[in-house]
Structure 1
Amino acid sequence: MLSGDCVKVLVTGATGFIGGHLVEDLHNRGYDVIAMARKTSNISKLKELGLEIRFADLTDPASLVEATKGVDAVIHLAAYYTFHGKKELYWKVNVEGTRSLVEACLKNGVTRFIYCSTTEAVGPVKNPPATEDVEPNPTYEYGRSKLAAERIVKSYGEKGLKYTILRPSGVYGPGNVNDVSYWFITGFAKKALWSYFIVGSGETLIQFVHVKDVVQGFRLALEKEVSTGQTYFITEDRAYTYNEVYKILAEIVGRDPPKIHVPPILAKLMIFPVEVTYKIFGKENFMWHVSTVDAVTQHRAYSIEKAKRELGYNPQYDLRRGLKETVEWYKQHGYI
Structure 2
Amino acid sequence: MRVFVTGATGFVGSAVVRELLDAGHEVVGLARSAAAEASLAAAGARAHPGALDDPVSLRDGAKAADGVIHTAFVHDFSDYSGAAHTDLRAVETLGAALAGSGRPLVVTSAIAVLTAGRIGTEDDAPDPTALSAPRIPSERAALAAAENGVRASVVRLPPSVHGAGDRAFVPTLIGIARATGVSGYPGDGSNRWAAVHRWDAARLYRLALESAPAGSRLHAVAEEGVPLREIAEAVGGRLGLPALPVAAEEAEGHFGWLTPFVSADTAASAALTARRLGWRPEGPGLVADLAVGGYVNG
Deviations 1:96-118 (A, max 9, x none): 121112112238x4621111111
Deviations 1:207-227 (A, max 9, x none): 2211111112112212324x4
Instruction: Give, in angstroms, the shift of residue 46 of structure 1.
Output: 0.9
Matched, 1:262 2:246: yes
Please give the secondary structure, in 2, of the residue aligned with 1:68.
helix
C-alpha contact 1:61 1:104 (8 A) present in aligned 2: no
Partner of 2:116: 125
Query: Whose Rg is larger?
Result: 1
Report matched runs for 1:22-171 at 5 Å: 22-39=16-33, 42-85=36-79, 87-91=81-85, 93-106=86-99, 109=101, 111-122=103-114, 124-126=115-117, 128-137=118-127, 143-169=132-158, 170-171=160-161
C-alpha contact 2:76 2:83 (8 A) present in aligned 1: no
Partner of 1:183: 172
Report matched runs for 1:189-208 at 5 Å: 191-193=178-180, 195-208=182-195
**Taking structure 2 as the reference length, what is the TM-score of the superposition?**
0.88
Count of matched residue pairs: 296
Task: Look up the equivalent residue of 1:99 and give its one-letter code.
Answer: E
- Larger mean CA deviation between 148-157 and 241-250 belongs to 241-250
Instruction: Give, in angstroms, the shift of residue 194 of structure 1.
Output: 6.9
Cα RMSD (Å): 2.5
**Taking structure 1 as the reference length, what is the TM-score of the superposition?**
0.79
**Same amino acid, percent of matched pairs:** 24
Unmatched segments (≥5 aa) in structure 2:
none
Counterpart of 1:210 (choices 197, 201, 217) is: 197
| Between structures 1 and 2, the one with greater strand share | 2
Report matched runs for 1:2-17 at 5 Å: 7-17=1-11
Unmatched segments (≥5 aa) in structure 1:
1-6, 272-286
What CA distance in whole angstroms lies between the structure 2 residues aligned with 1:110 and 1:315? Answer: 28
Partner of 1:279: none
Matched, 1:323 2:296: no
Partner of 1:4: none
What CA distance in whole angstroms lies between the structure 2 residues aligned with 1:249 and 1:266? Answer: 20
The 3 A distance-change label for structure 1 pair 297 and 62 is closer
C-alpha contact 1:10 1:68 (8 A) present in aligned 2: yes
